[in-house]
Structure 1
C-alpha cells in the first residue's frame, strides 16, 4: 500500500475530512474477501474529486487511502454503536451495507483488529487531531467538515431513496447553532436537491468525538446521495452532475466559515 493518508495543509479555519473514499486493501486481506466485497461497494466514491475545489478555499484536506473494509476510522474503537437498534457496521466491518458477508472464512480476530488499528486508525487520527489543533492555533477555532457519500438506496439502512443532502450535527451538539443554521439555510435556499438535517445520518464517530463547540471546534457531517454526482450503476463520476452540485457545496462550506468567523470575531 501507499501511505495511510493524503494530506494537503491549508491556512483557513476549514478542515475537510474524507475517511471513506480510499480503495486500497492489502493483498493478504483482499484474498480473504468475497468476490462482491472485493468490488468495495460501500466506498464513498469520488468524494475527494468532488471536493477538490476546496483546495482553492485554502482548506486543509485529509483523505484516507485505505478502504473502510480494512478499518473504519469513523467508528468507535470501543465498539459502541452509532445508531443503537439500527443496522450499521463496526470498526472492522464483517458485513456489507446490504448484510452480505465480507469474508469468505473467519472474520479478523482481536489480534488482527489491534494490528490494523495501530497501522491505520491511530496514525490517521493522529494526523486529524494535529491538523485540527494547528488550525485552531492559527484562528482560535476550527470548522471540521466530514465529507461522505452513500448509495441512494440501501434498504437495510434506510427506507426508500435518501435525500441528496444529509447534514449531521449530532442533533446540534457538534457545532454552534449559528453554524448549523447558516448551513441549513443554504441547503434550503435551493430547489434542485432534497435535504434533511439530523435525519438517518446524524454524524459519525468523528463528528461526535471532535465536535466540541465549547473548545471552538465545530464539526459537521455531510452525507451525499451518490446519484447527485455519479452514475451509481456504472460506478462512474458524472462530470456534468458534479459541476452542478459543486457551487452549492462551496456555498455550504462558505456559510459555515462565515458563521464561525462571525461567532468568534473579537474586536481589536
Structure 2
C-alpha cells in the first residue's frame, strides 16, 4: 500500500462516528489506531517516509468492525494516526527527551510506555525507528492533546454514557491489531496466537464478557490468549468500571491473519474475519443485562 496521499494529510475531522439508525445493542466499538490522515506539518517534521510511519497503524481494524452500525452499535474511529498521537494513553504520558523545553510536573514521564518510546506522542514507530528530525516544544504536545485527544475521548465518553443511560449497561470493545513477529505473539508450542483478549486481569469487565468472547472466537478456530501479552491499555483501564455497568474489553488481532505486514495490503481472509467480528459484536451485545448492570 502506498504512503499517505495528499488527500489523506488534511484532517478536517478528528474522529468519525458511524452510528446505527437506532441503537439496539448496549455496545460501543472504538478503533483508536486505524486513522491514516497525516497532517502536513507532522510529515514535514518526521525523518521517516509515509510508508514507514504507517507501520504503527492498526490498519483496517475499523474495516474489520465496520458491521457494528448495521447490527445496532456505534463505531468510533480516530482519524488521526497513532504515530502522530496515541489516544490509548493517558493525556500527558510524554518522554522528556523528545522536548526542547522542560515538562510540567503533572506530565507522566516514567510509565513503561514512555520508556518504550510509545507515549501519547510517540518517539518511535512500531519497528523502533525514531520519528522526528529534531526536538518538539511542549506547546506542540498541548495543542495536539487539546485538538485531537480530548475530543476523541469526549466522544467516546458520550457514546458510553448514552448506551448506559439507554440500556443500564454498556460493553465497550476497544479494537486493535498486533504485529505477528516476536515470541510474545506465539504460544509455547510455537503456534500463532490469533487474538488476545484483555480485561486488565479481570478488573475491566464482568467475567461473562471475556468468557463469552473467548468461547465464540475459539469456536471459529482461532487461538486466543487472555491478558498476555496485552492486558488492556488506557481505554480499557479508564472506562472499564463493571460496578457502574461499563464493561471494557480490549481485543488485539494478529495482523498476519488479514494483511501483508510488509506491503500493508489486505489478505483474502479479511472479509471472513470481519464476519466473525460481526458475530462477536452481536453475541456480546446479547449478554443478559442482569449480569452487567450497575451494582
Return the TM-score normalized by structure 1.
0.89
Q: CA deviation at 1:195?
A: 1.2
Residue 38 (structure 2) aligns with? 25
How far did residue 253 of structure 1 move?
2.2
Alpha-carbon distance in structure 1 between the residues aligned to 2:209 and 2:242: 10
- Deviation for aligned residue 1:142: 0.7
Q: Judge conservation of contact 1:174–1:220 (CA < 8 Å) in 2.
A: yes
Q: Map Cα deviations across residues 108-146 of structure 1 (whole Å, 9 max, x no partner).
A: 232111111000001111111111111111111111000
Q: Quick check: 160-169 or 144-153, which moved more?
A: 160-169
1:75 aligns with 2:89: yes
Give the 3 Å change call, closer, same or farther, for CA 189–86 of structure 1 in structure 2.
Answer: farther
Counterpart position of 1:246: 274
| Distance in 1 of aligned mates of 2:112 and 2:153 | 22
Cα distance change of structure 1 residues 112 and 85 upon mapping to structure 2, 3 Å threshold? closer
Which residue does 2:214 correspond to in 1? 184
Q: CA RMSD in A?
A: 2.3
Instruction: Tell me which residue corresponds to 1:198.
Output: 227
How far off its partner does 1:198 sit?
0.7
Q: Which residue of 1 aligns with 2:203?
A: 173
**Counterpart contact for 1:75–1:91, Cα < 8 Å:** yes
CA distance in 1, matches of 2:68, 2:137: 39
How far does residue 196 in structure 1 lie from its aligned partner after superposition?
A: 0.5
Q: Which residue of the other structure, out of 124, 127, 151, is the alignment partner of 2:155?
A: 127
After TM superposition, the score normalised by the length of structure 2 is: 0.81
- Superposition pairs for residues 225-264 of structure 1, below 5 Å? 225-238=254-267, 240-264=268-292
Cα pair distance change 1:187/1:71, threshold 3 Å: same
Aligned length: 261
Unaligned runs of 5+ in 2: 1-10, 94-107
Shift, 1:17, TM fit: 0.3
Q: Is the 8 A contact 1:94 1:103 kept in 2?
A: yes
**SS of residue paired to 1:17:** strand
Q: Is contact 2:185-2:229 (8 Å) kept?
A: no
